[in-house]
Every structure is written in C-alpha cells, then in structure tokens.
A and B are shown apart, each in its own frame.
Chain A
Amino acid sequence: MGQQFFRILTVLGYLLCCAYPAWSAEPAWIGLSPAQQTILAPVKAKWDGMSEMQRKRLLAIAAKYPKLKPEQQRRFQKRLTTWSELTSQQRALARQNYRKLKRLPPRKQLAVKQKWLLTHQPKPPIVVATPDKLQIAP
C-alpha cells in the first residue's frame, strides 16, 4: 500500500516535470485575449514564428500598455514592427547601449539624446520666400 502510494506520487511528479514546459508555454496568436491582440496587432503576422522568450516579453510589455501615456502608446505601436524585425543580437546591443546611457548623470543623458536627435532626425525643409511664391529649397 505504502509503496504503491510512493510509486503513484513519483509518476505524477515526473509527469508534472515533463509537462511543465508545454504548460508554461506562451500562447499562439489565437490564444491571446482580444485586448492583447489589439495592442500587439503590428506583430500579428510574425507572432507564431517568434521565440517563446520574445512572446513572453512582449506580453509583459502589453500588460503595462494601458498605464502608458498616449505618446508612449503611439511610440510603442510605431516601433513594435521594427523591434520585432531585429535579430536577437541587435536587441541585445540596443539593451546594452541603453544601459550604458542610463548610467550617465541625467544631464549628460539628455545631452546625448539631444545630440543624436539633432544629428539624425530628418530636418524640416527650408522654405525660401520669393516675391511671388514660397519655394522649398533643394
């Protein structure tokens, strides 16, 4: 009786251990809630091909989404596709550079950000005013 009880418990334990990865796996696109599908809509086509880790992280970010400011939500929607197209090495590099930037004092962080934006943001076209019309400079 006692030995049989132990055997049953052991077998159940093994089964639980073996089933754990499948049990904890992140769901396919169909398995997401409507709210999650709306937030993650830009990556719908790629979702099922993503790694489990990537899906897990995106779901964690999606959970924070309602608390983000509207501007942050807009950026998230805009950048999500680009982010999902990066390789894991590129994402790791971006995180590494982000950590480096965050280690700087706030004033220096701001200076670096401003410099990057000034250098890389597309400049607004220069409008040249002539006597009869406005003309965009080449």
Chain B
Amino acid sequence: MNEDAYAREMIAMLDDSLPLLRPEITERLRLAREQACTLATQGMYAHSYSSGHSVTWTEWMRQHRLGLAGMLLVLALGGGTAVWQAGGNGKDDNTVSIDTELLTGDLPVNAYLDGHLSKWVSNSSAY
C-alpha cells in the first residue's frame, strides 16, 4: 500500500468514526485546531519579520548595486547639468543686460564697433 492510499484510508476511518465522538470531545478538538491555526499564523509573521531584519545593510547594497550605481550616475548627471545651467544663466543674465543697453542706449550699436570709441575710452584720461 502506498502512502496516498494509506492516508485516504485513514481519513475515511476518521470521518466514519466522527459521529461516534462525544460532543465535548468534538468541541475540544475544534478549539485545539483553532489554537494551532492561530499559532501557525503568528509564527509565519514572526518569521517574515525577523528575516526582513536579518538582511544586513551591506547585503542590501550588494543586492541593489546595479540600481544604486545607475541612480548615482543619474544624480551626478542631473547635478552637473543643474550646476552648469545655474552658472550659464548667471553669465547670460549679464549678457542680456548688456545687449539690452546696446539695443536701447544713447549710442547706436555701430558706435561700439567703431575703433574711435574704443581708442577714446582707452585714452579717456585725456579728457
């Protein structure tokens, strides 16, 4: 007799003899089963909790090293772009101010391309 057939036979015998048990025994068996199920559930949660904390920081780092490297690279790229943009914007704000002055100021644009003005500015002490 193999194990499956033996188990089925045992279950059939237990089922057949169940009506023969007294009610108080049936009730005790039901309570015992409920307690066993409760304990089994608690044990399962406790196991998952302890195993979650049993993973060390270094182990977690090792598991996610590729993702972390990618994240660091993206952060470095983003940070570099932001710094570059901030530096460029500051310089460009100054250029925009000068361009505004050149386009709206007292002298026409070609005055600032004229060699005379440049020379006069350089020799301004003569005035």
- Chain A residues at the B interface, C-beta cutoff of 8 Å: 2-3, 5-7, 9-10, 13-14, 16-17, 20, 53, 56-57, 60-61, 64, 68, 72-73, 75-76, 79-80, 82-83, 86, 90-91, 93-95, 97-101, 104, 108, 111-113, 115-117, 119-120
Contacts and interface: CB of A to CB of B under 8 A. Distances in A.
B87 to A, nearest CB: 14
Contacts of B103: 61, 75-76, 79-80, 83
Q: Chain A's interface: helix, strand, loop or mixed, by majority?
A: helix
Nearest to B80: A17
15 contacts: A9-B74, A16-B78, A53-B92, A75-B104, A82-B108, A83-B103, A91-B99, A97-B117, A101-B112, A108-B124, A111-B124, A112-B127, A116-B107, A116-B120, A120-B116
A108 B125 CA distance: 8
Nearest to A11: B70
Interface residues of B, number: 42
Q: Chain B's interface: helix, strand, loop or mixed, by majority?
A: helix
Interface of B: 63-64, 66-68, 70-71, 73-75, 77-78, 81, 92-93, 95-96, 98-114, 116-118, 120-122, 124, 127
